[in-house]
């Protein structure tokens, strides 16, 4: 090739735009609106990295992560010891956000906020309380107009971290639930429930069904304008979901966090603590064969743990307490 032709070819190659690096993730529906907001915001600042996230549920997210079908997974349930041992490139769990599981309901004309004691909401999902005008419900809510209507419970059909957070809480507060369905990503609902896929599906079904109540991540209830019950916490106080009550649940329970950051708070202490909270984790390899991919992913997660926390409250999530974010950044730094 003549020198002039070679020079022209080199000049053309240099002029070509660099191809954006692509990283794919999949998992929990619980934090999906927040993750997608992060991806959009981070993409505007870093055009050289293209991120995508499929909200397919925590169970499927863990499955795809272990099968190496994605660069990162996401789950509202920390991976088990067995799952971590089966990860061929190791597994590092990074808590990046937190949320509250609420009991959202649809009671037209009730005119007020529904109050539910621990025993009562456990018995609703055990199928022991079947009518909205049950004596125990009316005693808790004397000022509400509770109808003579069958209670329709709405639950998740797919393997779900939200289901685990809710059933783990029920197992902590109700001996009957612990001895019966127990805690898990999938549950058998003794009273029968309308089953839907994803937080979005549960929230939409509640919105469309008069007399319905179901468990859903707070951001979905907030986005669809669903009423959320005031739940009795461990201290006996009735609290509605808010950034303050969610933060309190983590702030009062920071002692004793394990080194691997697999933290569960099925019944958090604290008079001002919302009773059903959960971290949500990104699942990352301990080792990536491609150093550039590892670096790109680590830079995004570091941004999420810092600037990204500012997006949480507006979307209905609980910003990580600074102490937790510090531990998460230390775990992130160990990824190679």
pLDDT grade for 50, boundaries at 50, 70 and 90: very high
CA–centroid distance for 125 within its chain? 21
**pLDDT score of 17 more than 50:** no
Question: In 3D, which of 276, 257, 86 has the Cα closest to residue 167?
Answer: 276
Instruction: Report the sign of the C-alpha dihedral through residues 36, 41, 42, 47, in that order.
Output: positive
Q: What is the CATH number of the domain that holds 305?
A: 3.40.190.10
What average pLDDT does the structure give for the chain? Answer: 92
Question: 97 near 280, Cβ under 8 Å?
Answer: yes
Q: Is 318 domain-assigned?
A: yes
Mean pLDDT value of segment 240-264: 89
Question: What DSSP designation does 131 have?
Answer: B
Q: Is 271 domain-assigned?
A: no
The predicted pLDDT at position 2 comes to 52
**pLDDT score of 11 more than 90:** no
Q: Is 173 domain-assigned?
A: yes
For residue range 76-103, list pLDDT tens digits in order: 888 999 999 999 999 999 999 999 999 9
For residue range 187-237, list pLDDT tens digits in order: 999 978 999 999 999 999 999 999 999 999 999 999 999 999 999 999 999
Nearest-angstrom CA–CA distance, 206 and 234:
27
**pLDDT score of 121 more than 90:** yes
Q: Is 258 domain-assigned?
A: no
**pLDDT score of 4 more than 70:** no
Burial class of residue 15, CB neighbours in 10 A (0-12, 13-18, 19+) = exposed
Question: 98 near 308, Cβ under 8 Å?
Answer: no
Total number of domains constituting the chain: 2
Three-state secondary-structure class, residue 336: coil
Question: 237 near 194, Cβ under 8 Å?
Answer: no
Do 40 and 57 sit in the same domain of this protein? Answer: yes
Domain that holds residue 70: 23-99+277-333
The predicted pLDDT at position 66 comes to 97
The predicted pLDDT at position 19 comes to 56
Nearest-angstrom CA–CA distance, 289 and 276:
38
**pLDDT score of 34 more than 60:** yes
What is the number of other CB atoms lying within 10 angstroms of the CB of residue 112? 12
The predicted pLDDT at position 13 comes to 39
* pTM, to two decimals: 0.84
Do 120 and 82 sit in the same domain of this protein? Answer: no
| Crossing angle of helices 322-333 and 291-305, rounded to 10° | 170
The predicted pLDDT at position 10 comes to 44
Percent pLDDT > 90 in the chain is 80
């Amino acid at each position: 090739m003549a020198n002039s032709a070679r020079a022209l070819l080199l000049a053309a190659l240099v002029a070509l735009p660099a191809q954006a690096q692509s990283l794919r993730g999949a998992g929990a529906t619980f934090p999906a609106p927040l993750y997608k907001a992060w991806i959009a915001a981070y993409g505007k600042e870093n055009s050289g990295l293209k991120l995508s996230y499929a909200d397919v549920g925590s169970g499927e997210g863990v499955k795809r992560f272990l099968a190496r079908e994605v660069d990162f997974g996401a789950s509202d349930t920390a991976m088990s010891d067995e799952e971590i041992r089966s990860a061929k490139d190791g597994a590092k769990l990074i808590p990046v956000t937190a949320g509250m599981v609420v009991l959202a309901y649809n009671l037209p004309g009730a005119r007020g906020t529904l109050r539910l004691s621990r025993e009562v909401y456990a018995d609703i999902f055990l199928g022991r309380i079947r009518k909205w005008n049950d004596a125990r419900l009316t005693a808790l809510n004397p000022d509400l107009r509770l109808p003579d209507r069958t209670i329709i419970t709405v639950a998740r059909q797919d393997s779900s971290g939200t289901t685990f957070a809710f059933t783990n809480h029920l197992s902590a507060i109700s001996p009957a639930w612990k001895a019966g369905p127990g805690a898990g990503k999938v549950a058998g609902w003794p009273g029968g429930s309308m089953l839907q896929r994803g937080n979005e599906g549960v929230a939409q079904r509640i919105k469309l069904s008069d007399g319905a109540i179901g468990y859903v991540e707070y951001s979905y209830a907030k986005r669809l304008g669903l009423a959320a019950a005031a739940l009795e916490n461990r201290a006996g106080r009735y609290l509605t979901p808010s950034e303050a009550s969610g933060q309190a649940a983590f702030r009062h329970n920071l002692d004793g966090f394990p080194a691997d950051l697999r933290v569960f708070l099925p019944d958090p202490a604290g008079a001002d603590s919302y009773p059903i909270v959960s971290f949500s984790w990104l699942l990352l390899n301990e080792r990536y064969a491609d150093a550039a991919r590892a670096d790109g992913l680590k830079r995004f997660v570091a941004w999420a743990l810092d600037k990204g926390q500012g997006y949480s409250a507006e979307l209905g999530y609980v910003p990580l307490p600074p102490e937790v974010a510090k531990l998460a950044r230390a775990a992130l730094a160990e990824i190679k």
